[in-house]
Structure 1
Amino acid sequence: MPDSSSRPNTFGQLPPSKWPGERLGLPKIGPGSIGRPLRRLLGFAIDWAIAIGASAIFFDYDPAANLIIFVILQIIFIPTIGASIGHRLVGLRIISIHGGWVGLWRPVVRSVLLGIALPALVWDSDQRGFHDKIAGTALIRQ
């Protein structure tokens, strides 16, 4: 009889993935695999720079405007082009883990939580931030 202490017995006690995205049925490397941290960070930096530029032009560089513009850009571009501008430039896109179009509510939930920042800093073994887990999304390579 297998050792029951090694098997998950309650919600949240899943064994770690062998590679990021394994539990989601995603490949280990290449197109369709989970976007790695460096690409994610670079995409985020590009998006943040765009938000800062827009804030500087229209709001005389207001930190609150930076954040609001950043979140709005995420909400607009995720359902329309499949990712933020920064993510697209570094070869990433956002998918629904349930298949099909990401929809409208997922980008809103994901972007607001990303704007709070803390959920994005908490990752699982699939390298999905808490904001992605709640929204049911994953950031993958194109």
Structure 2
Amino acid sequence: MPDANPRTFGELEPSKWPGERLGLPDSGPSSVGRVGRRIAALFVDYAFAVLIALLWAPYSSPTHSLVTLAVFAVMQIVFIPTIGGSIGHRLLGMQLVPIAGGWVGLWRPVVRTVLLVIVVPALVWDSDQRGFHDKVAGTVLIRR
């Protein structure tokens, strides 16, 4: 029989659905944004960043990749606290919210974006489908 009051994260039962341990519904509004929707939003954001980066560097230049990454990061840091998510998140019906509730603030988007840009933390997920970048920032991407 599992301990009623687990002492470590490893003692927690896995979620039956993404977001269950966070008190979020299985589907519909306020449920965790699923993988397909998240990946599509990432592609939308990156496509916008590529196009905007063309204003500063030709596509074939070595600096274009760095400019694209910088534009992508700035877009995340600016749009998450102002419109509740990136352009891709909003177009695909999602919003980034802090687990504790309230406004996402300024530090969460910065921390989340730095970790997202180095890619690896975004590939490490828990049973609530929250990447390491969201866990560290104390955020969750939900459907609206």
Q: CA deviation at 1:57?
A: 1.9
Is 1:134 paired with 2:132?
no
Ranges of 4+ aligned residues in structure 1 off by more than 3 Å: 6-9
TM-score, length-scaled by structure 2:
0.92
Counterpart in the other structure of 2:82: 80
Q: How many residues align?
A: 140
CA distance in 2, matches of 1:76, 1:12: 35
| Most deviating of 51-60 and 6-15 | 6-15
The one of 94, 97, 100 equivalent to 1:95 is 97
Structure 2 runs not aligned, ≥5 long: none
% identical equivalent positions: 59
Is 1:57 paired with 2:55?
yes
| Most deviating of 47-56 and 7-16 | 7-16
For each residue in 1:84-134, what CA deviation from the matched residue of structure 2 results, as whole angstroms up to 9, or x when unmatched? Answer: 001100001100000100000000000110001000000000000000000
Is the Cα–Cα contact under 8 Å of residues 43 and 86 in structure 1 kept in the other structure? yes
Q: CA deviation at 1:72?
A: 0.7
Structure 1 runs not aligned, ≥5 long: none
- The code of the aligned residue for 2:70 comes to I
1:31/1:58 Cα in 2 relative to 1: closer, same or farther (>3 Å)? same
CA distance in 2, matches of 1:7, 1:60: 57
- The code of the aligned residue for 2:23 comes to G
Is the Cα–Cα contact under 8 Å of residues 34 and 141 in structure 1 kept in the other structure? yes
CA distance in 2, matches of 1:17, 1:96: 19
Secondary structure (helix, strand or coil) at the match of 1:87 reads: helix
